[in-house]
Amino acid sequence: KKVPQRVYPVGRLDYNSSGLLLLTNDGEMAHRLMHPSFEVKKTYQVEVEKKVSEKYLQRLRRGIELEDGKTAPALVHEITSGKRGLLPCYEITIHEGRNRQVRRMFQAIGFPVVTLKRIRFGPVELDQDLPAGNFRPLTAQEIQRLKKAVKLKSH
C-alpha cells in the first residue's frame, strides 16, 4: 500500500522476524524511540524447539553476555499461545535494540529461535486483526503515549 507521506521506520525487524514495525514522519520521535537512553520497551513472542528451564530463564532475566557486551536484564515468561500451538512459546521484553538481540540471547543459552514476532513497541500493541504487510495510522492516544514515553511535548 502507498503511504501518503515520507515516513521513517523506527528500528527494524530482521528478515526472519515478523510483527509490529512503527513508521513515523516525526524524525525526533523516531530518534528517541530508538535511542537506548530512553529505554523504550519492546516485547516479542518467541517460539523455540524445546522448553526453556527456569534456570535458563533466570539467565535471561539477569542479562546475557554476548559478543558485544552484556545485555540489560530482560522480562521473560512462558506463554501458552504459540503460532502453531506445538512449540514452547515465551514473551520477552527488552529495552535495548541491538542487532538480532533476542535471537542471540536465546542462542546464547542453547535455545535457537524458531519464530520471532514483535508484539509491542512501548505503549503500542500489535493489532492482531491487521493482516501481515498491512498498516494503519496510529490513534491520537497512541501518538500521545509514544511522545510521553520519550519525553516529547504533545501538541
Stretch 25-39: mean pLDDT: 91
Active-site residues, by number, are 14
Please list, in sequence order, all residues whose beta carbon lies within 8 angstroms of the beta carbon of residue 73, skipping any fewer than 6 positions away: 61, 62, 63
**pLDDT averaged over every residue in the chain:** 91
Neighbour count for residue 105 (Cβ, 10 Å): 23
List the grid coordinates of 111: 535455545
Which residue, among 46, 47, 41, has the nearest Cα to 72 in the 3D structure? 41
pLDDT of 73 higher than 60: yes
pLDDT of 84 higher than 70: no
Strand partners, 44: 92, 118
Q: Are 8 and 2 in contact (CB under 8 A)?
A: no
Cα–Cα distance, 32 to 151 (Å, whole number): 9
Question: Pick the residue with more confidence: 58 or 8?
Answer: 58
Our separate counts of H helices and E strands in the chain read 4, 10
**What per-residue confidence (pLDDT) applies to 140?**
93
Tell me yes or no: is domain 8-149 CATH 3.55.40.20.
Answer: no
**What per-residue confidence (pLDDT) applies to 155?**
62
pTM: 0.91
